[in-house]
Amino acid sequence: MDDIYSLNSFYRRSNGLALVRPPLTIEQRRTIDSHWGDVTAEPGGVDYLERELGGVPVLWAEPAGAARDRVLLCIHGGGYVGGSVYTHRKLYAHLAKAAGVRAVLPAYSHTPERQYPTQLDEVTAVYRALLDEVRPGHLAVAGDSAGGGLCVSLMLRARMDNLPLAAALVPISPWTDMTQSGASVVANHPTDLLFGGDTPMDIDGLVSMLLPAGVAPDDPLVSPLFADLSGLPPMYIQAGGGEMLLDDAVRLEEAARKHGVAAELDVVPGEQHTFQMSAGRTADADAAIARAARWLRSKLGL
């Protein structure tokens, strides 16, 4: 495979930027991260429409022949500081196309310019607006990394606000514990090409940029691993076996089952954080998306 399209190579380059002196600015990092989506192949047969929902800019991904009355709300990752609807449009278009539904990606605000709870407020506004158009039983929510944790927090917020809950959740390599207490944070440090190695990413720094004074990292709405998950929709959780956040996924499944929520955990040995970004280029990514899509179709009545 051409190196420029390799997720592992992209992660190695991103990780190695910690050695650059003087250190890169946030805007410089964002410019580099804007090429994250280059590793994902175009799915083909998908139209993209920029609109607004609930006062938030969104990008619709509409595969040809997709069910018009089923929608997948997709929350992109990027540590809250980066990533965008453009870096992740192809990933979620692959998932939407395989599931036969439309997808909508909210362009929520970045840190450090905007702190919590802005991001949760914005995706909640989009969710509220979707409920005016789509039956809750025809609506699912997916998210990767920070977006994976945020899709669970969204359901907690919806429950607090007495909103109907979605039919299903698909957290992908979810960041559910901002205290970094999972054993895999240490155990998988040598194998994680993005967060670990000789130039580890400052994950605690990402937390500090997100959380204002007075909000603790173990707050259940920012670390849904510590929440009461009772009544939440069924979850299909995917993760890579080599990533440092593996235990955020493992423990989420355990917590969900403890609170009576149906949950399935799909860990692919040796794979990296959000390895599904290699959709259309690697067999493991394509197979993982196919499994998630089959599960989604069963929950959305397709």
Residue 76 a catalytic site member: no
Do the Cβ atoms of 117 and 221 come closer than 8 Å? yes
This prediction has a pTM of 0.97
> Of these residues, 62, 122, 243, 271, which one is catalytic?
243
- How buried is residue 289: exposed, middle or buried, by Cβ count under 10 Å (0-12/13-18/19+)? buried
> How far apart, in whole angstroms, are the C-alpha atoms of residue 151 and residue 60?
17
Residue 273 a catalytic site member: yes
> Of these residues, 110, 173, 273, 278, which one is catalytic?
273
Residue count (the chain): 302
> Of these residues, 14, 84, 145, 173, which one is catalytic?
145
Read off the pLDDT of residues 20-53 as tens digits, 9 standing for 90 and up.
788 889 898 888 888 999 999 999 999 999 999 9
Read off the pLDDT of residues 186-234 as tens digits, 9 standing for 90 and up.
999 999 999 999 999 999 999 999 999 999 999 999 999 999 999 999 9
Superfamily for the 3-299 domain: Alpha/Beta hydrolase fold, catalytic domain (3.40.50.1820)
> How far apart, in whole angstroms, are the C-alpha atoms of residue 261 and residue 284?
27
Read off the pLDDT of residues 155-170 as tens digits, 9 standing for 90 and up.
999 999 999 999 999 9
Domain boundary assignment for the chain: 3-299
Do the Cβ atoms of 223 and 150 come closer than 8 Å? no
Do the Cβ atoms of 201 and 18 come closer than 8 Å? yes
Residue 133 a catalytic site member: no
- How buried is residue 188: exposed, middle or buried, by Cβ count under 10 Å (0-12/13-18/19+)? buried
> Among all chains, which residue has been given the structure tokens 């005016």?
132
